[in-house]
Amino acid sequence: MDEFLNWLNWLINQAYIYIPAVLAFITAIGIPSIVQLAKIFKSAKLYLTQTSVLLKKLNESLYIITKLVDFTTSQIDSEIAFYETLIKTTYNKKQKMIFVSRIEFLKLQKETANRLTIQSIDIDSITPKKKIKVRIKQEAPSESE
């Protein structure tokens, strides 16, 4: 135990050498790098917040589009049902041909409307697969300097 206390006493006596060196290192290298890291984290947090807000707004828009597609397909389905009943009650062949072509056109419109449905987008699905390289261009010194 005496050896440990003697060693600790020696370290404390040598502190006038170590403490200024540690403080000089922290102030010269540590503090500026900590400040830069804080700035980077602040800007990254800002970008992530903006991205999440944009994704929320985009998902709200996609929800409205999905509701519009559902409404359109239900209207097309009711119109197809109407023309099918007209085909059953009509005896004129030319009118039946017109109704059949109208039903085919409505079915194509229904397929087109169903292609508009998009699932909601989450932040994991938009992460890049490759690393993004960022280059910072240094301004050339002006001729007056």
Q: What pLDDT, on the 0 to 100 scale, is given for residue 145?
A: 44
- Which pTM value belongs to this model? 0.53
**How confident is the model at residue 100, as a pLDDT?**
92
pLDDT given for residue 5 in this prediction: 83
For residue 136, the model assigns a pLDDT of: 56
Q: What is the pLDDT along the chain (145 residues), one digit of tens a residue?
A: 788 888 878 877 777 777 777 777 777 777 777 778 788 888 878 887 888 888 888 888 888 888 988 999 999 999 999 999 999 988 888 999 999 999 999 999 999 888 877 776 666 666 656 666 656 555 555 555 4
Q: Are 62 and 118 in contact (CB under 8 A)?
A: yes
Q: Residue 77: what pLDDT? A: 94
- 8 Å CB contact between 87 and 25: no
Q: Compute the distance between CA of residue 136 and CA of residue 138 in angstroms, rounded to an integer.
A: 6
